Structure 1
Amino acid sequence: MPDAYAPEERGEASSRRRRRTIAIATLLVLAVATGAGVAVKGGLLSFSESCEDSAVRLSLAASPDIAPAVREIAEQTRADEVTSDGHCLDVEVVARDSYKVAEALAGGEAPDFQVWLPDSDLWLDRAKGLGTGIPVSPSDSIASSPVALAMVPSAAGRLGWPEKTYSWAELVATTLGTEKVRLGAADPARSATGLLALTSIGGSSAQQGGDSDTRVAETAKVLAERMSDSDAQVLETLARSGSGAEEGNPKRNQAVLISEQAAFAHNAEAADSGRLNLFYPEDGTPLLDYPYTLVDEEKLTLTQSRAALRFMTLLNDKGSRAVFARYGFRPADGSAEDTVVASAGAKSPQPYATSAAEAPSAKQLQEMLGMWTITVQSARLTTVVDASGSMSTPVPGRGQSRMDVTKESLIQALSQFTPDDEIGLWEFATTLDGTKDYRKLMPTRRLGDPAQGGSTHREKLSAAFAGLQPVPGGATGLYDTVLASYEEARSTYVKGKFNALVLLTDGSNQDEDGISRSALTSRLKELADPERPVPIIAIAVGPDADREEVAEIARITGGDGYEVSDPAEIQAVIFQAIMTAGQNGRAAQE
C-alpha cells in the first residue's frame, strides 16, 4: 500500500513509523484481499436489513480535540454501511484524555476499547511504563497540528506580529519579559502540547549557549504559576473581548501555548476582537501527530483486527481529510492548508508553512518531565548509593567502573536541580561504619545554602559524589540501610516539596546479621503515610542487581523499582522516576 501521505522525517521517530507502515500495509493487503473474496463469493456487498446483525463493533478512545471529527467519520461510515470482510463497521468513538489512558494502560488496567487515538506519540512511551502494562501497537498518524504560541491581538501587536519572528527561546523570553503579557500553558505532565512546547523552549535555549538549564528552569517556574490542567482549560484563562478591563485582570492571560487546531476551534466561536493571532517560532514547531493505535492486539479477534485496520484506511482517505480540515487539523504530513491556518490565526511572514521540528526523543521528554516536576514542586531527595566492592566492576565498553559511571551520572543530574531543591547523600556497604552498614556523607539541605569555605551545598555535594569509592570486600547491606535512611527521610519530611529516597544498588542484600526482609517490609508499611508521602525510587544497576526485590520494597512506600544496564542511564531514569512518582502522588491526593 503506497504511503502517499507520510511525512519526511529523520531519526528514530522516522524509522519507527516506517516500520509501522510496512507492517500495517502488509496486514491491510491481506485483509482487503481476503475481505473482497469473501464479499464477492457470499454476495455481501449489498445488504441493508441484515447490517445490524452482521456488524462488527469497535470502541475507539480518542483525544478530546479530535474525537468530534472521528465521530463524524464513524457515523458516516455507519450510514454508508461500509464493510470489512462483509461485516458492517460500527465504531463507537469516546473522548478520553490521553494522559489518563496512558496511566491506565501502564498500570495494567483492562481497557474497554480496542483502538486508541492519543494526540501524540509521546503517550505511547508513557503507556508502556515499565513494560508490565497493557500492550499497544501503534500505526501511522491520521492527522496533525503544530504547537504554537497564541496571543490576543493587542499583545501580539506589541510583539510585532506578524512581521516580527522569533525562536522559541526569544519568543518566550520576550513574552515573559513584558509585564503586560501574561503567559499560560497546560501542565506538561498532562498535556502533550505543554510538554512539546517546553521541550522546544529547552532545545532552543540550549542553542543560545550559556546556562540554558537555569533559564529553562526559570521559565518552567513562571509557567507553573499560571498552569492549567488541560488544553481546554488554558484557553479559558484568556483575556476576553480585548477590553482594557479584562486585559488588566491579573488572573487572565494574553498569551497561551496551544495547538493550531485549538486556536482554530477558539477563533471559530470568538468575535473578531476575541480572535487569537499565532506566532510560529522560526526554529520549528513540534507536531501533535495522532497515532492510530491498536490496544491489546493479541486479544482482538481476527474480525476486530481487520475492522480496526479498515477504519484506519477510511480515516486516511480524501473524504476524511476534508472532515479533519473542517475541524482545524492538518494532514498527517504536517503540510499547511491555507484555509485552516488562516482561520487559526496564522499570517505571513510567520513561518507557519515550514517543516515541522524534529520530534524530541523519549529520553529528552523524560528528562524534561523530571525537570518540570522538581522545578514546579521543588524536590527533597536523600540519595543512597551502594559502595560495596562489586561497584568496582568494569562497565563493558566504557573503561570505567560502575562506581565511576554512577558518580558521573549523579553529578550530571545534580546540574538539573534548582537552588531551592534539597539533596543529601548516604553510602552503604557491610560494616562501613563500625557495625553499621551505612554512613551519612551530606545532610539533605537546600542546594543554594552556603557551606563552609565560601562554597554552596551544591558544590560540597558534587565533591562528595566525586569522592565515592567502593569498599574492598564490602557486601551489600541493603535492608538495614533502607530502613535507617527511610526513617530519617520520613522524620524530616518537608511539606510542599516532593520528598523521596533515591536508592542505587548493584546487588541484593548480603548482610545476614541485619534486619530480615519481612521485618523491613513490615516496618515500612508502618512508616508509609499517604498524607506525608516519601516514595522510594530504587534503581538496580547492572546485571547482578535484583530489580524485582528492590521494586517490591519501593512499592510499599508508593515508589517503584527501575533497572539500568549501564550506569550512564541513571540520570534519565531518576527524572523519569521523579515524574512518575510525582504524578502518582498528585493523583492520590486528588
Structure 2
Amino acid sequence: MLSDSAGGRFTSLSGRERTSMAAAVALVVGLALGGGGWLVYRNHTACQDRTLTVTADPAIAAAVTEVATRYNASKCADVNVVTGDSAQTARVLAAGDTTADARPDVWIADSSLWLDGVKDPAVRSATSVASSPVVFAMTPTGAQHYGSALVKQGWGGFRDDTYRLRLLDPDPSATGMASLLALSSAAGNGTAGLQAFSRMLEDVKPSSDPTEAVNALGDQGEPPVLPLSEQTIWRQRQQGRQVAAVYPQAAPVLDFPYVALTTDRERKRIAAGLLTALRSPDGAARLHDAWLRTPDGAAGRLVSAGLPAAAPRVLPVTSPGAARAMRDTWRKMRTSLRALALVDVSDATLARMGSGTRTQMMAESLNNGFSLLDDDTEFGLWSFPGARSRPYRRLVEVGRLQEIGTGGTRRARLQKQISGLRAQKGRDGGLYDAILDAYRELSRNYRPGMLNEVLVLTGGATGEHDKISLDRLVAELKKDFDPEQQVNITFLAFGNGIKMAPLKKIAEATQGAAYNIQNDRQIMTLFRCAIPLRVKDDLRCSQ
C-alpha cells in the first residue's frame, strides 16, 4: 500500500505486490532498452542500406580504406574495400561475370591499361584518383655514373648496349606493360621501329617479383636498369634496399582509374561521394602516405621525403587497344622456337663463298645463330644427302638446348656436329625427301605454344635424284599443312646461281619463306630479324 499523501509514510509491500512491481520495472526497462536497441539497429540498418563494394589494387587499397572509413563515419555509409589484383579483376570483368561477388560496385585498378578488355560503358568515364610515374630503378652507384645520361636519353637509351634492361612481366604487371609501350614508342614506327624494339628486348628476361628484380640490380656487367613505378622504388627504399630512382624527362604513368560499375542510383551516389573524398585534401594526404601522387602529379609533403616536386612529363602510351595489341606482340616475340635444321652437304656446297666454302658459311651461320637462342629453344639437326640407303642423316634429335645427355648439353652436341659438317664430293640429292620427312616428323610431334619450323640451309642441292618430285612434294605439303597447328618451312640459300623459284614454291605451301644469302652480314641480319618476323611475317629486314 502506498503512503498517505499528507503523512509521507510508506507502508510495506506484500510479496505479491513486490513481484508485480519488479515485473513492471522490468517491463519498463525492457521497453526502454528494446526501444533504444531498436533505434540503434535501425540506424545501423540505415547505414547498411547505403552499401558500396570497392575492389582496389594493392598499391592503393590501404589509402582507399582509410578514406572510406572516414567517409562511412561522416555520411552514414557502409563502403567495404577489398584488395584485388588488377590483372585478376580485369580477367573476371572481361569474362562478363555479373555475380555480386565477382563484380564490385567500384573498381580502382592501378592503370587504365587494364580497361582494354572490359566491355562496360563505365570504363569510358573513369576518373584518375592517383598517379605514379614509371621511372628507372638503378643501384646508387649505377645512378651516380649513368643517371644523368639516362635522364637525357630516356626510353631511347636502350637502343644500344649501354645498359642491361630488366622488365617486370607485362602480363600480370601494368608497370611492365607501360614499359613495353614506352620502349616501343621510343623505337619508332614501321619496319625499322619493330626491329629496333626487338633489339631492345633481345636479352630481357622478365621478372614477376619486383623485390627479386630490385635485388638483382646488383649483378655485374653493364649497368642494369629496371623500370618501376615511383611508388615501388620508394617503398623498396623504405624496406632498406639499395635502389635509386632515375627520372626521365617523359614517362608513362600509372593513373589509378576510378570505375563506377554499379547501375543502382543510390550506390552511384555513394560512389560519387567516395570519389569526391578521395580527391579531397584529406584524400591526397592518404595517397601521400602510400607514396602516391595526386592525379595531376603533385607530390605534396612527399617532397620533404626526397620525391621531386614535379613528376616527369606524361608519356601518352595509354590508349584504347594499346595494351591488347602490345600483349599480342609480346606473346609472339616470347614464343619459343622448335626447329629441325636440314643442312646441305652436297657437292654444290664446295663452291666458294667469301673466304671459305658454302658449307663453312652455313656452319658458321648456324653456330652464330645459336648464340641468340634461349635455353628453352628446341632444336634438332639433319644433313643431306645421307648414306646410299637413306637420303639424309639424323645427327641430333629435336629437344631443348639445355637438356643434358651423353656428350653434354644438346646445344654442345649440336655445335660439335655443326663444326664437323663436311661437303660430300660427287654427291647430290636428298633435298625433297629430307624436307617431307622432316616436315611430317615435326607435324606428328607438334608442340602448341611454340613456333614449329623446318629450317633448310642449302648451298645449291637439287631434288633431281630424289624419290619424290617437286610437284609431288608441294602437293603433299599442302595436304598436310594445318593452319591451326602450323609447321612452316624456311629456306636459307647460300651463294649465287641458286634457283630460288622451287624453294619459294615449297615454302609458300606452308606459309614459310625463302631467302638468298650472299654474305655473312645478311645472315646475321636475318637471325636478328627472326623475332620481328614473328610479329609481322611480311617484314622486310633492313641491313
Normalising by structure 1, we get a TM-score of: 0.48
- Residues 238 and 254 in structure 1, CA contact (< 8 A), matched pair in contact too: no
- Residues 137 and 246 in structure 2, CA contact (< 8 A), matched pair in contact too: yes
What is the aligned-residue identity percentage? 26
- Residues 261 and 328 in structure 1, CA contact (< 8 A), matched pair in contact too: yes
- Could you say which residue in structure 2 is the equivalent of 1:239? 215
User: Secondary structure in 1 aligned to 2:201?
Assistant: helix
Shift of 1:135: 6.8
Match of 2:333 among 375, 382, 387: 375
Gaps of 5+ in 2: 1-38, 339-371, 379-439, 454-483, 487-533, 537-543
User: Secondary structure in 2 aligned to 1:58?
Assistant: strand
Q: Distance in 2 between matches of 1:499 and 1:123?
A: 31
Q: Distance in 1 between matches of 2:275 and 2:179?
A: 28
Q: Residue by residue, what CA displacement relative to the aligned partner does 1:496-537 show, whole Å, maximum 9, x if unpaired?
A: 61679xxxxxxxxxxxxxxxxxxxxxxxxxxxxxxxx959xx
- Residues 379 and 498 in structure 1, CA contact (< 8 A), matched pair in contact too: yes
- Residues 153 and 275 in structure 1, CA contact (< 8 A), matched pair in contact too: yes
Structure 1 letter corresponding to 2:315: A
Structure 2 letter corresponding to 1:286: P
- Could you say which residue in structure 2 is the equivalent of 1:228? 207
Distance 1:497 1:177, change over 3 A: farther
What is the 5 A alignment of 1:202-281?
A: 202-206=184-188, 211-223=192-204, 225=205, 227-229=206-208, 233-239=209-215, 247-248=218-219, 254-270=224-240, 274-281=241-248
Distance 1:488 1:122, change over 3 A: farther
What is the 5 A alignment of 1:476-487?
A: none
Q: Residue by residue, what CA displacement relative to the aligned partner does 1:232-268 show, whole Å, maximum 9, x if unpaired?
A: x12333238xxxxx93479x99532111111122222
Q: Distance in 2 between matches of 1:119 and 1:167?
A: 27
Distance 1:253 1:118, change over 3 A: farther
- Residues 374 and 498 in structure 1, CA contact (< 8 A), matched pair in contact too: no
Shift of 1:48: 7.4
- Residues 267 and 343 in structure 1, CA contact (< 8 A), matched pair in contact too: no
- Could you say which residue in structure 2 is the equivalent of 1:571? none
- Residues 182 and 317 in structure 2, CA contact (< 8 A), matched pair in contact too: no
What is the 5 A alignment of 1:274-423?
A: 274-282=241-249, 284-295=250-261, 297-298=262-263, 301-337=264-300, 339-340=301-302, 343=305, 353-378=311-336
Distance 1:344 1:287, change over 3 A: farther
Match of 2:446 among 489, 493, 497: 493
- Residues 299 and 307 in structure 2, CA contact (< 8 A), matched pair in contact too: no
Structure 1 letter corresponding to 2:77: L
Q: Distance in 2 between matches of 1:342 and 1:361?
A: 34
Q: Residue by residue, what CA displacement relative to the aligned partner does 1:163-210 show, whole Å, maximum 9, x if unpaired?
A: 762333443346x534xxx54322112211111111111111218x98
Larger displacement relative to structure 2 (211-220 or 197-206): 211-220
Distance 1:266 1:259, change over 3 A: same
Structure 2 letter corresponding to 1:238: V
Q: Distance in 1 between matches of 2:198 and 2:280?
A: 43
CA-atom RMSD in angstroms: 3.9
- Could you say which residue in structure 2 is the equivalent of 1:444? none
Structure 1 letter corresponding to 2:180: L
Match of 2:45 among 41, 50, 53: 53
1:126 aligns with 2:117: yes
Shift of 1:65: 0.6
- Residues 286 and 359 in structure 1, CA contact (< 8 A), matched pair in contact too: yes
Shift of 1:151: 0.9
- Residues 145 and 260 in structure 1, CA contact (< 8 A), matched pair in contact too: yes
- Residues 109 and 134 in structure 1, CA contact (< 8 A), matched pair in contact too: no
Structure 2 letter corresponding to 1:142: V
Distance 1:534 1:89, change over 3 A: farther
- Residues 152 and 239 in structure 1, CA contact (< 8 A), matched pair in contact too: no
Shift of 1:137: 6.1
Shift of 1:330: 1.0
- Could you say which residue in structure 1 is the equivalent of 2:431? none
Q: Distance in 1 between matches of 2:317 and 2:40?
A: 46
Q: Distance in 2 between matches of 1:499 and 1:341?
A: 53
- Could you say which residue in structure 2 is the equivalent of 1:177? 162
1:64 aligns with 2:58: yes
Q: Distance in 2 between matches of 1:302 and 1:575?
A: 46
- Residues 278 and 345 in structure 1, CA contact (< 8 A), matched pair in contact too: no
Distance 1:135 1:197, change over 3 A: same
Distance 1:219 1:291, change over 3 A: same
Q: Distance in 2 between matches of 1:211 and 1:163?
A: 24
Distance 1:104 1:143, change over 3 A: same
Gaps of 5+ in 1: 1-46, 241-245, 381-417, 423-486, 501-532, 536-573, 577-590
What is the 5 A alignment of 1:573-584?
A: none
Asked which structure has the greater CA Rg, the reply is: 2
Distance 1:343 1:369, change over 3 A: farther
- Residues 137 and 227 in structure 2, CA contact (< 8 A), matched pair in contact too: yes
The number of residue pairs the alignment matches comes to: 321
Q: Residue by residue, what CA displacement relative to the aligned partner does 1:124-172 show, whole Å, maximum 9, x if unpaired?
A: 12222xxxx797564311111111111120121231x347623334433
Q: Residue by residue, what CA displacement relative to the aligned partner does 1:380-421 show, whole Å, maximum 9, x if unpaired?
A: 9xxxxxxxxxxxxxxxxxxxxxxxxxxxxxxxxxxxxx9999
User: Secondary structure in 1 aligned to 2:135?
Assistant: strand
Distance 1:326 1:210, change over 3 A: same
User: Secondary structure in 1 aligned to 2:214?
Assistant: coil
- Could you say which residue in structure 1 is the equivalent of 2:96? 108
Q: Residue by residue, what CA displacement relative to the aligned partner does 1:414-465 show, whole Å, maximum 9, x if unpaired?
A: xxxx99999xxxxxxxxxxxxxxxxxxxxxxxxxxxxxxxxxxxxxxxxxxx
Q: Distance in 2 between matches of 1:92 and 1:137?
A: 24
Distance 1:235 1:343, change over 3 A: farther
1:77 aligns with 2:71: yes
User: Secondary structure in 2 aligned to 1:494?
Assistant: coil
Normalising by structure 2, we get a TM-score of: 0.52
- Residues 105 and 127 in structure 1, CA contact (< 8 A), matched pair in contact too: yes
Q: Distance in 2 between matches of 1:294 and 1:280?
A: 33
